[in-house]
Amino acid sequence: MPIKTALTELLGIRIPVVQGGMMWVGLPKLVASVSNAGGLGILTGLTAGSPENLRQSIREVRRLTDKPFAVNLTFLPSISPPPYEEYAKVVIEEGVKIAETAGGPQAAPIIKLYKQHGVFVIHKCTSIRHAKSAAKLGVDMLSIDGFECAGHPGEDDVGGLVLLALAARELKIPYLASGGIGNGRGLAAAISLGACGVNCGTLFMATEESYIHPNIKNAMVKASERDTTHIFRTLNNTARVFKNKVASEVVGLERRPGGAKFPELAPLVSGARGKTVYEEGDVDAGVWSASPVMGLIDKVVSCEELLKTMEKEAEEILLAGAKTVVRESKL
């Protein structure tokens, strides 16, 4: 008994689960595996390193699946930003029909460009006010990130339970629940809160098809929901990462009298070091994103098994929930 929502109907997928566009993780094999299993895989655009490499990555996904998939572009403040428009043009030229965007005002011209070419846009936000701004830009769907999420949860510290309830009241377009979703029960809860599906990142990191080194996947299985920490709190650029030696050092520097400036932290948190974690399997080689969902990961499974289990569990919970509502008979 499939779960039909705006997500499955609009995008032509079977299971209302989206794999987040994660740097160094959202690569062709994982993307295609998620899509083949019935969800929506997302290729991380900037991981490719150049627009032309992205073109080749898109074509690789197409060789592995004929199902719908998306491409992510995340827009972050930078002294020398990547050529976002060139990346977006590759997405359009290659005929990709779904795009995920995330970030601040820099995303606006790309969203406009996508919409001019008929691309379905899902925009990720960490607050209702930002979601409303994105809706005004013409995005088709929103992904609402609660404080539980890995990566950047924003600076409001509002959990998903409240954010999703607010979204149901305030938003006029479909939205996904993102952050803290680790099983079918989370999917069922998100749907009950008005979401048309869920966006999961950490959960897919520990799948068989993810490119991450087995040591890191095993560390995630062994970890609990308490094994994350926040860095960059004092810089107003909060990021949730796995609690390892490097992350603890960063937090320590931020907490000392006077705090720490980014140039001092930069060598510890470089993207190259984070990539090394995934490639070489050294948990402490750099900082890497992870959420408390690790406490719900018991083993490394295939994307197909993961999604099949999530779907079945969500169906059972939603059906059981309906039975708790009893209509009183009138005498």
* Rounded Cα distance, 177 and 171, in Å: 13
* Rounded Cα distance, 251 and 260, in Å: 9
Residues 6+ apart with CB under 8 A from 62: none
pLDDT-derived band at 7, boundaries 50, 70, 90: very high
Q: Is the pLDDT of residue 331 over 70?
A: no
Task: Please report which helix (H) or strand (E) contains residue 304, including its range.
Answer: helix 303-323
Q: Sign of torsion, CA 313 302 7 158?
A: positive
Inter-CA distances, 152 with 263, 304, 326, Å: 19, 28, 42
Average pLDDT over residues 46-68: 98
Among all chains, which residue has been given the structure tokens 């970030």? 103
Using DSSP's 3-state secondary structure scheme, residue 5 falls into: coil
Amino acid at site 36: N
The residues pairing with 121 across neighbouring beta strands, listed in sequence order, are 99
Q: Is the pLDDT of residue 327 over 90?
A: no
From the CB of residue 186, how many other CB atoms can be counted at a distance below 10 Å?
24
pLDDT of residue 39: 98
Average pLDDT over residues 44-50: 96
pTM given for the model: 0.95
Q: Is the pLDDT of residue 322 over 90?
A: no
Domain boundaries, the chain: 6-211+300-320, 228-280
Give the model confidence (pLDDT) of 227-284 as tens digits.
999 999 999 999 999 999 999 999 999 999 999 999 999 999 998 999 999 999 999 9
Give the model confidence (pLDDT) of 108-159 as tens digits.
999 999 999 999 999 999 999 999 999 999 999 999 999 999 999 999 999 9
Q: What is the mean pLDDT of the chain?
A: 95
* HSE of 303, CA atoms in CB hemisphere, 13 A: 25
Task: Please report which helix (H) or strand (E) contains residue 319, including its range.
Answer: helix 303-323
Task: Please report which helix (H) or strand (E) contains residue 153, including its range.
Answer: none
Residues 6+ apart with CB under 8 A from 69: 31, 32, 34, 35, 40, 41, 42, 43, 61, 96, 98
Average pLDDT over residues 6-23: 97
Q: Is the pLDDT of residue 67 over 80?
A: yes
Q: Sign of torsion, CA 148 160 189 35?
A: negative
% residues pLDDT > 90 (the chain): 92
Amino acid at site 247: A
Which CATH architecture describes the domain 6-211+300-320?
Alpha-Beta Barrel (3.20)
Task: Please report which helix (H) or strand (E) contains residue 75, including its range.
Answer: strand 69-75
Give the model confidence (pLDDT) of 281-294 as tens digits.
999 999 999 999 99
